[in-house]
Structure formats: C-alpha cells, structure tokens
Structure 1
C-alpha cells in the first residue's frame, strides 16, 4: 500500500482489485466489518470534530501565513517565501483532501467518482512531497549561509525558481498515485456492491510494496536525515560562536530563527512517524489489514499526521515576533506593522536603536535582519 495514499489507501488495501474472485472479496469485506469501530455513532462524532478542527485551523492559519508574507514588504524574504510555499501545500491538503478523507471514513466506500479517484490521492501525495522537499531546501540554504559564512543570501528570482523545481520534482514523485490506479464497482453479492478506487500495478502485487517502501525512504527517512545533519551542524556552529558585540544581535536572530525552523521539522517528523510506521507494518505483514479496528487505527494515525498541516502557523506566532505582529496587524485591520509593538518586549536600548534605524530608513514597519524570517 502506498505510503502517501492518504485519501483511500485503506481502500486499496482492504478491497481486493477489480476482477478478483468474488468469494475472496466477500470474505475480506466480512473480516473488515468485524469490529469496525468507525461505524459507531460516538466514534463518528469524534472523528468529525477532529477533522473539522484540523480543516478550520489549517485553512485559517495557512491562509494567514500566505497573506502576511505577500502583504507586508518586510516579510518578503527568501526564507519566508519558502515558508509560504509550505503553507500552500498544507492548504491544498486542508481544502482538497481532508474533507474527502472524512467522507470516505464515514461512508466506508469510495463515493466520489472516477476523476477524483485519480486526482485526490495524487494531490495529497504532491502536497506532502512539496512540504518535505521545501523543508530540505530551507535547511540546506541556511546550512550554506551559516556554516560557510556566506552573507549573500539566495536571490528572490532563484528562490522562485527553486520553488518551481520543487513542485516539478514532487509532481514526478507522486505521479504513480494517479497512473497506477483503477476505479470500478465490486459485486459483494447479488444485492450488494461497493465502489472502489484501488491501486493497479502492471506487475505483481509486490510492485506496490516496493513503491511504498521507496517513498518511505525518499519522502521521510532520507529527507529527515539530511535535515537533521544540517541543523545539528548549524546549531553547533551558533552555540560555539563568539563574535564582536556588533554581531551578537545578528547571531541571536539566527539562533531564534533556526530554533523555530527546527521545531517545524520536529513537528513534521513526530506527527508523521506513527502513520508511516503503521503503513510499513501493513506492507510487511498482510495480516495487519484484517486486524480488529484496522480502519480506526488507520484513521487515528492519519489525524495525527494531519496535525502538521496547521501546526506551523502556531509555531510562527509563538516563536517569531515578526509573524506575531503581522498576525495582530491583520486582525486589527492595520495596513502596516507597529514597530513599538514588535519591540515591546525588548530592552530599552534595543528599542531605541531599532527606532533610530527605522527613522533613518523612513520606515514604519519593523526591521528584519537578513537572517531573520
């Protein structure tokens, strides 16, 4: 079962491929119905509340991040454009995928037709790949600048080119989710049939397992290894740095920004870990598919994974004063950010210094260092 098929991965695993012997279909269907807690009203209410909360928080939070990055000039930095790209990917999941995931879980079968059978799993696979690749790009860019003392940051034109390449690479990696798929109707009995949207690999059934494990390595294990390596070196460099007093403020900004970005990676890693572990267990042992409450466990792990789609905006507001001030400015319908509010918690000396710098530049928005987000 493909590790990124979050819309109906359980369909592809639970329901045999179209054309398989009907007795096997009926047997598997009966096994799946045994102890399926997602049919209980109380469980369904909890699942509805959980998914709706994730969708609302994700749509509001990610839309807000995208808006403030392009609304406020001082937030238009390379790192922030990458963060906005993450928000676009998460917003795609929140709006195009999660509502259908919830509906499938409640209905117990695919009810969305042939076109969506091919496009929805692909869209969510694309979004997850974009998030992972972008996290890698951010880590490697900061590694290049901080470890090798490169003061010249990536240009905005290069940044947009990297973002475009990120989407192209992600589209290629996710393409098997749309190509190797089949939609149809399976007759469980003369009076009972269900719509299915399943994987359809050209070779043996092991092809799906090979793809699933490959994606686990390319989309989770390898990227996290690269990111961890980059941030460990960055953090070690920043902790051991002792420079002139004039550079301390800049280094503090770098440390705070790096800390926030590391938290983003930690949230991504731990929210997706249970889901990937469960998927791997499914690929290794087919008996997992007919275990008691398989569907409920799958759904719960999926909910945990989807929490990553709204966590980042909360991290920005908590750990970065510039985003925090931008969010407040939006809710207060302000056209510009208030520099006094942005520096309210800093020392008097820092406030005076920043105020003079702002006045010298004839600006009323808070100053952002090149290393801040």
Structure 2
C-alpha cells in the first residue's frame, strides 16, 4: 500500500492500500484539506531513493521466489520429504510466493507513481489477495510451531494424517479469506480532481461504512492482535516449551554432540521468534500510529512507511532459510538442485532426528529396554 494518493501538491482524502493491510483515510472532506509535502520533501521522488527502493523490492522478490520455489519443489520431487510438517512448510512457502507476486510489485509501482494504474476490478481484488496471502503465511507459521510442539512434547501421541493436515491448511485459507474480506468490500475506486495543479488521478482507497476513521482503527487493532500479538505468543510459547524439553533430554549421543545439537536447535527456535518480531512489529506499530493520525503529517511519512514495509516483507525470504536451509534435508536438497544431482537417499525418513530419538527413547523405556519394532 502507498501512504499517499497523489503525486503533486496534495494528500488525498482516502489514502491507498495495496498490500493487504489497512490504511485510514486522511481526515477531511476535500483533497485540499491537508497539504502534502512537495517534491523536495517527498524523499521517494528523488532518483537515488527510487533506485534504492527498486533494488530492495527486486532483491526481496528474487530471493523470495527462489527460496520458496525450491521448498515446494523439494516436497513435490522427493517422496521422503512428503511429511505432515513439510506440507505445512510448503503451505507457508506458497503463501509467501503469493506475497512476493501480489504484494511487492503493486506496492512498488504505487509508491513510485502515487496513482492507481490497475483499474477498478483490481482495486478490489488485489488488496484482498494480498491480505489473504499475508494471513495464510502468518497463521501457517503458528500451525508449524504447534505441530512441532505436539511432536516433541508428546512424542507418543497420535500423529497427524495427511488428510488432517490438508484439512488444517484448508481451514487456514478459509479463515484468512474471512479476515481479508473487509479489504475487498470496503473499497472505492475513483478519479480525484486536483484543481490547483489541473491534475486528475486514479485513486484506490478504503471507504468504511460510517465515513470516519473509527472503523479503520478498529480493524487495525484487530489485525495487530490477529496478525502479530497472538501468532507471536503461540510461536514463542511453543518454542520455549520445546527448548525446555530438549534442555532436559538425555541424548544417546556423546555429550559434545548432544550439546552441539541443542545449541543448533536453540539458535533456530530463537531466530524464528526474533525474525518474526523484528519483521512485523515496526510495521504494525507504524500502521496503528497512522490510523490514530499520529504520523500522517510527518514529511518523511511515505518513506518511513515504505521502509517498514520492506522490513516486513523480508520475512518472505527469511522463512525458507529458517524452515528450510536450517533443516538438513532441505539443505541437502537445495545443494543437489544447484549441483544438478539426484540422490533421494540423502533424505532422512519422516520426522527429525530429534523427534525420532525422543520417540525411540520413550518407547524403549516403556518396553523395558527392548528396541521397538518399526511401524
């Protein structure tokens, strides 16, 4: 989404939104009610800044497409990779691919041009698709954390079937579709006149039922809760419990090897939480401040929004690294793709070593030390 709707002289009555997040209209009944900074104070109009933004968005798109496509390819290509957890990771990769293709290009164009160039139909459908993909991405991260929690904390519990995992993914998409619906329904595409400079531009903005910013603030608060606070709480709780479980787990491996595995696991779990919070917290706080009309009058407003948006979108290529590259199976698969090799035996069977070892130890203890028969 772009924080402004015009490219010269004024800020529009309804600010735009093109990446699945809510934006509050600027108070006032006329586009002339609130003057925008001119060219010299709109930093996004400077050539150097525009080149930097193009390079940043292009790099995020490239890395996101490459990383997430590789994750999906690995799961489709190799049968041993088709596990319940990996299906969730593939769902996350698919959502991030949609973010890269539906959010970033439109946001970049709108930021540079300050005008909606894509027509009335896309004015409603693009923000909806963008919000849908972002919701699916974040909800899937919470689902992955809960699945890892269940497998490690309760290693003898009933494992999820493929059908159950696909049902959970379907519910994730359905829930996201409902949460994103307001961004498709409460929108307006119009031609905005700016008489002072004899300019007519196309605007795609939110239009809430009561014509005030109150509904927008409520929606932003709800999104802050559902897109950030609750997912972060779920992910943090699950991974803290996993870390405590592994901390007190006695591994059959040597002490040095066990400490090394524990250190790697702790690092991965901590990175998931830190990256999620770092990417999304600044954007959500800035979004809420915008809805409360606390930052709209800053001359650096548009540039700040764009920078926070770039940071948030970095999660689309960070996820394949955290959920893929830091996993030995995915890492081996990525290297095979780059080397044009095909070694299906390089992948471990279903479940991580840590989960399998916990399951074996628990079963062995219950069976009086006898090795359990493979299922």
Alpha-carbon distance in structure 1 between the residues aligned to 2:124 and 2:72:
28
* Residue correspondence of structure 1 range 47-58 to structure 2 within 5 A: 47-58=53-64
Partner of 1:130: 136
By how many angstroms is 1:230 displaced?
Answer: 1.5
Per the alignment, residue 274 of structure 2 pairs with: 266
RMSD: 3.0
Contact 1:329–1:336 (8 Å) recurs in 2: yes
Partner in structure 2 of residue 341 of structure 1: none
Structure 1 counterpart SS, 2:90: helix
Shift, 1:326, TM fit:
0.3
Q: What TM-score, normalized by structure 2, do the two folds share? A: 0.82
Report the equivalent of 1:236. Answer: 244
1:218 match? 226
The corresponding residue for 1:73 is: 79
Contact 1:72 1:336 in 2 (8 A): no
The aligned counterpart of 1:16 is: 13
Partner residue in 1 for 2:154: 148
CA deviations over 1:41-90 (Å, ceiling 9, x no partner): 11101111111111111111111111111111121111111111111011
| 1:168 paired to 2:165 | no
List aligned pairs for 1:215-364, cutoff 5 A.
215-242=223-250, 260=268, 262-284=270-292, 286-316=293-323, 318-337=325-344, 364=345
SS of residue paired to 1:241 = coil
Is 1:186 the counterpart of 2:183 in the alignment? Answer: no
Report how many residues are paired: 339
Partners of 2:3 and 2:279 lie apart in 1 by: 18
SS at match of 1:289: coil
Q: Which runs of 5+ in 2 are unaligned?
A: 16-24, 356-375
Counterparts in 2 of 1:166 and 1:254: CA distance versus 1, 3 Å: farther
Partner Cα separation in structure 2 for residue 185 and residue 20 of structure 1: 17
8 Å CA contact 2:83, 2:350 repeated in 1: no
SS at match of 1:186: strand
Correspondences of 1:68-107 after superposition (within 5 Å): 68-107=74-113
SS at 1:196's partner residue?
strand
Q: Does 1:41 align with 2:53?
A: no
Is 1:195 matched with 2:202?
yes
Cα displacement (A) at 1:332 = 2.3
Aligned CA distance change for structure 1 residues 320 and 244 (closer, same or farther; 3 Å): closer
CA shift at 1:22, angstroms?
Answer: 9.3
TM-score, length basis structure 1: 0.82
SS at match of 2:296: helix
5+ residue gaps, structure 1, are: 1-6, 338-363
Residue 198 of structure 1: CA displacement?
Answer: 0.9
Matched residue, 1:343: none
Q: What SS class does the counterpart of residue 24 from structure 1 fall into? A: coil
